[in-house]
Amino acid sequence: MSPIFSRSPLTLLALLLALPPLAASSSSFPLPTIAIAAAGTNTASPHHLACGLVSNGTGYQLSCASVTNRSASPRKYGYGGGSTTPFSALVAGDGYLCSVDPISSPPVSMRWWDLNDGEEPSKRVYRGEALSAVAGGGEYVCGLVEKRIKCWRWEWGAVPEEVGFSALAVGGGFVCGLVAGTGELKCYGNGDAVGREPRGRDMLLAAGERHACAVDHRGMLGCWGEAAAVAAEAPPKLIRAVSTVAVGDALTCVLWGNWTVSCWPEEDAAVPPEISQEQFVALEARGKVVCGVLMSDYSLFMHNGTLHDHLHKRPAPLSPPLASWPSRLRLALGAARGIEYLHTYAVPPIIHRDIKSSNILLDASWSAKVSDFGLSLLKNLGTGDNAGGEEPCVTAGTVGYMDPEYYRLQHLTDKSDVYSFGVLLLELLSGCKVIQRYEGSGTPRNVVDMAVPYIESDRVHRVLDIRLPLPTPGEMEAVAYVGYLAADCVRLPGRERPSMSEVVGVLERAVAACEEHEDSPDGGEAALSRSCTDGSTTM
């Protein structure tokens, strides 16, 4: 267990938890994986439980630790009192925990644990279509089912069915949502946040007992609701890249795009100074408690280490994600989605600046996670300016992966990450180190210089990893398609490279084609062509 910091009346708990992928797909918001529940009948001084989804090797189980009693052993929860069913999302509120089972194969189920009821502690409250978002607060839970807000155990009315939403947050007696497509805020219920929603186009949303906060498209954080709560807790309106907003009853906290945390508490609460010295990957708040998952612990919990180690250091046989061409393409797609999230869904977007195989972590299920954001820069990609309004004075990155245009001109754009990812793709296809000596060459060469000429002359087979059998005809089509994509990603100049969203689209088509040939090796016509991978001409 990570260190626990306490400063009355505010408690901060850093849990050692492993999280699901940051973004499951390019078009959905990630589901919550940590939550804080208030248990007990004394509302003035509730007992708080910090809960999270902990990896068990095949999925994620629900585990809770007491914030009040640090010596108590963590408690695990499962359906029917067991502990074998993995979960995909977790929320909590006053006297309850609520978790959703894996969403990969609907119908999905939602389980409710009543923390104050010993006779019937657990029951299923939902079974149906997949939930794209879920949030808890007060005594009830709400989720998004086909973009419509659906709530359980809510006594204050219903949300109009004709409105579609992309995100939601639940507070004390109210629920707020972001209207799909416009980012407009709408709140329903009888809480103080209802009817006070600020106008604009918002991207992120969070709610506490008495007020709510949102981040607009410029990266500006604003709060509304009970006037006293907003005045006491509202942070300065800084325009910075925000990853998560966590709103409690006595504080508002922000997880910034560089994974540091800032909190603005009420006068009678204090924030431990240690919080400013750490990096976090997830954040949650309730009452006077804030919980976070440390970046260092998250990295340590990636059971299978880095992609670099499996490509270049592990002895034979090859690890599962590298043992076949379809699995290598799926791994590339997972990494691409993580980078796409930083470029497209962070507010404002984030440029990683150090994409490389040693910064791709592999979890217990061999899914790829992008890590190490120490060099990340917060950018307004539409203008080419960083969040502070100044260009970085020194280039940063790793030799071999660094965009030559960025190194030469010291002008950073999201296409610099695309270049680094293109190098990573070539590394995956060839099994070669980024810089090494090749047969017939006395000096080390970059994998780009070795591989791209073969790919451009339609001889992709000359660069493929010799530790794997040659792809089947069906697989070769998809592998060549990815080879062309890699060549497009390392194009000079950078404006001719595809965006990461385009990269994800190409990899999705390649993976689908490869899996189709896995299922039916002799069937299907060629569906992939070089024209589909042509780079973008926008910057």
pLDDT in tens, 475-494: 999 999 999 999 999 999 89
Mean pLDDT computed over 226-242: 66
* Spatial separation of the C-alpha atoms in residues 104 and 87, rounded to whole Å: 11
Position 415 scores a pLDDT of 95
Give the span between the Cα atoms of 417 and 352, in whole angstroms. 7
Span of 237-246, 427-436, 488-497 with lowest mean pLDDT: 237-246
pLDDT band of 5, cuts 50, 70, 90 = very low
Instruction: Using the structure block, give the residue that is written with the tokens 């790829």.
Output: 368
Please check the confidence at residue 232 and state whether its pLDDT lies above 70: no
Q: Determine the length of the chain.
A: 539
Please state, in angstroms and as integers, the Cα–Cα distance from residue 497 to each residue in 418, 422, 459, 536, following that order. 7, 10, 21, 5
Beta carbons within 8 Å of 5's beta carbon, 6+ residues apart: 11, 12, 13, 14, 272, 274, 275
- How sure is the predictor about 59, in pLDDT bands with cuts at 50, 70 and 90? low
| Whole-number Å distance between alpha carbons of 77 and 87 | 10
Residue with tokens 């906290």: 253
**CA separation for the pair 118, 82 (Å, rounded):** 17
- Rounded CA-CA distance 330/353 in Å is 23
Q: Could you check whether the bond before residue 493 is cis, i.e. omega within 30 degrees of 0?
A: yes
Higher pLDDT, 130 or 198: 198
The model carries a pTM of 0.62
pLDDT digits (tens, 9 = 90+) for 320-350: 889 999 999 999 999 999 899 888 877 667 8
* CATH of segment(s) 302-533: 1.10.510.10
pLDDT band with cut points at 50, 70 and 90 for residue 291: confident
Q: pLDDT tens across 92-137, in order?
A: 988 898 888 765 557 888 888 888 876 667 788 888 888 888 999 8
